[in-house]
Amino acid sequence: MLSYETPKITGMRVIPVAGRDSMLLNIGGAHSPYFTRNLLILEDSAGHIGVGEAPGGETIQHSIEQARELVINQSIGKLRSMVSSLQCAGRNADFEDFGKGSWTFELRINAVAALEAALLDLMGKFLGVPVAELLGNGKLRDSVDVLGYLFFVGNGHDTPLDYRRGTEGLGHDWYRLRDEAAMTPQRIVEQAQAAQDRYGFKDFKLKGGVLAGEQETEAVTVLHKTFPDARTTIDPNGAWSLNEAIQLCNNLHGVIAYAEDPCGAEHGFSGREILAEFRHATGLPVATNMVATNWREMAHALMLRSVDIPLADPHFWTLSGAVRVSQLCQDHGMTWGSHSNNHFDVSLAMFAQVGAAAVGRTTALDTHWMWQEGDSRLTRNPPQIIDGKVAVTDAPGLGIEIDMKQVEQAHAIYRKLPVGGRNDAMAMQHLIRDWRFDPKRPALTR
């Protein structure tokens, strides 16, 4: 009789970390000078380290902590039951919080994804295969397309907040430009040109929900004229009314490849119903990370045909869930993509592995990495964006090696911050006194 020595989990650490950011504007306000994340590090009896990354904040940090009693001394072979135990523990609370208006980056499901990533990292290292090989139909591509994620940027240097003033010594204009205000179509084009020159992006997304709709559609139109071959989109995070979105986007045929959350719930109709009406009225493909973010919402979105491109971020779908969304997309004639928030390089590796395993038609993945790259890393050799792609090699696990010195530095930065979670209203109040979030109004139209 053969005996199998499957490694057991011997150690677990949850480390809140922070890194630098620019004053990126969006409907929720303005990014603070620092973004926060939670890093999970597992160790097994074979001496391997497995890592996973989740959004910052105490709710997620404590949810990951709950995994400790589920995983310590367990065989990594129990990956699926460990993940589903943690998932069941947080499910109802998530629905409740979401119903009260929480953002996806505040949900406990993100903790489940970090656990799954770290376990898959260990399993991949044990079996000698990349994580993509352990998802869906296995690894389908050697690189994943990512888009250049453009933002209107506030003048953070006019506030008392400690915004970065360029990253020295990296030898490209992008690292200066990303910290300067960008409030006009011309500045957005300059941002895109510098980012393309640095990372080779073929596709772009402009974050809207900041200025009046006409100004934002003008910016995306100028962007398209400058990069006519790019798949370009605009995402106002549901700031426009249905009528406004139809009016604005009917002028964007041939300009945008798809519209991302152009409008959302209104007058008692759900965001899924409103996006279905938008889609019917304009004939434009619709992407979302707001109205089909879990299986229950997805079922309704499918019945209504609200969405063409679900942006299945592995952080709030889990890695296996995001790949399962790609399978659903393939069966229902949809295209798979992924949403992102600011993140470190562990998350970049998670996106890349999921993107390499996604089946069917895919669109370039969102990533905020260009805003962090060069001065915020947790691994020795972060995945690179070259020619608008992230390579996915056959290196085992997530294909990254954690750099504990960097982790400690990022943790020290975190410890100096007044709050752990993301609060875009706080920074925005330095631009507009007493500013308050309104899900139906662009941030600067007050």
Interacting residues with ligand LA4S6MJL (CB under 6 A)? 24, 26, 207, 235, 237, 289, 339-341, 366
Q: Closest CB to ligand LA4S6MJL belongs to which residue?
A: 26
What DSSP state is assigned to residue 133? G
Query: Are 8 and 73 within 8 A, CB to CB?
Result: yes
Partner that binds at residue 87, options ligand LA4S6MJL, Mg ion, none, CB closer than 5 to 8 Å by kind: none
Name the active-site residue from 125, 224, 339, 343: 339
Closer CB to Mg ion, 309 or 358, in the complex: 309
Measured from the CB of residue 24, what is the shortest distance to ligand LA4S6MJL in angstroms?
5
* Cα distances (Å, whole numbers) of residue 46 to 75, 132, 212, 328: 11, 21, 56, 36
| 389-391 β-sheet, strand order | 143-145, 389-391, 385-386
Contact 278, 246 (CB under 8 A): yes
The annotation places the binding site for substrate at: 31, 104, 149, 205, 235-237, 289, 339-341, 368, 422
**Of residues 201-260, those binding Mg ion (CB under 5 A):** 235, 260
C-alpha torsion sign, points 224, 227, 232, 237: negative
Query: Which does residue 24 bind out of Mg ion, ligand LA4S6MJL, none, counting CB within 5 to 8 angstroms by kind?
Result: ligand LA4S6MJL
Closest contact distance (angstroms) between CB of 316 and Mg ion is 12
Token pair in block for residue 280: 């019917």
Cβ-based nearer residue to ligand LA4S6MJL, 29 or 185: 29
**Which is it for the CA torsion 427, 429, 431, 437, positive or negative?**
positive
d(CA 240, CA 134): 40
DSSP string, 24-72: BEETTEE--SEEEEEEEEEEETTS-EEEEEEE-SHHHHHHHHTTHHHHT
Instruction: Name the residue nearer to ligand LA4S6MJL (CB basis): 145 or 366.
Output: 366
For ligand LA4S6MJL, which is the closer residue by CB, 167 or 341? Answer: 341
Query: 207 contacts which partner out of Mg ion, ligand LA4S6MJL, none, CB within 5 to 8 A by kind?
Result: ligand LA4S6MJL
Q: Answer with the entry of ligand LA4S6MJL, Mg ion, none that 340 interacts with (C-beta below 5 to 8 A by kind).
A: ligand LA4S6MJL
- Closest distance to Mg ion from the beta carbon of 365 (Å): 12
Residue 363 found at the interface with Mg ion (CB under 5 A): no
Q: Among residue numbers 259 through 318, which ones bind Mg ion (CB under 5 A)?
A: 260, 289
- Is 301 within 8 Å of 310 (Cβ atoms)? yes
For residue 94, the partner it binds in Mg ion, ligand LA4S6MJL, none, with Cβ less than 5 to 8 A by kind, is none
Adjacency order of strands within the sheet including 232-235: 148-151, 204-207, 232-235, 258-260, 286-288, 309-310
Whether 430 is catalytic is: no
Q: Which is nearer to ligand LA4S6MJL, 208 or 397 (CB)?
A: 208
Rank residues 139 and 368 by Cβ distance to ligand LA4S6MJL and give the closer one. Answer: 368
Q: 339 an active-site residue?
A: yes
Q: Which residue matches tokens 């990495």?
A: 369
Burial bucket for residue 79 (CB in 10 Å: 0-12, 13-18, 19+)? buried
Shortest spacing between CB 434 and Mg ion, in angstroms: 27
- Find which of Mg ion, ligand LA4S6MJL, none residue 26 binds, CB within 5 to 8 Å per kind: ligand LA4S6MJL
Residues within the annotated binding site for Mg(2+)? Answer: 235, 266, 289
| CA angle at 240 for the pair 55 and 104, rounded to the nearest 5° | 15
Q: How far apart are CA 318 and CA 108, in angstroms?
A: 11
> Which amino acid type is present at position 446?
R
Least distance to ligand LA4S6MJL from the beta carbon of 30, Å? Answer: 9
Beta-strand runs (E) in 267-395? 286-288, 309-310, 385-386, 389-391
Q: Which is nearer to Mg ion, 108 or 205 (CB)?
A: 205
User: Residue 287 CB, nearest distance to Mg ion (Å)?
Assistant: 7
Q: Pick one of ligand LA4S6MJL, Mg ion, none as the site partner of residue 341 (Cβ within 5 to 8 A by kind).
A: ligand LA4S6MJL
- Which spans of this chain sit near Mg ion (rule: CB under 5 A)? 235, 260, 289
List, by residue number, the catalytic residues: 207, 339
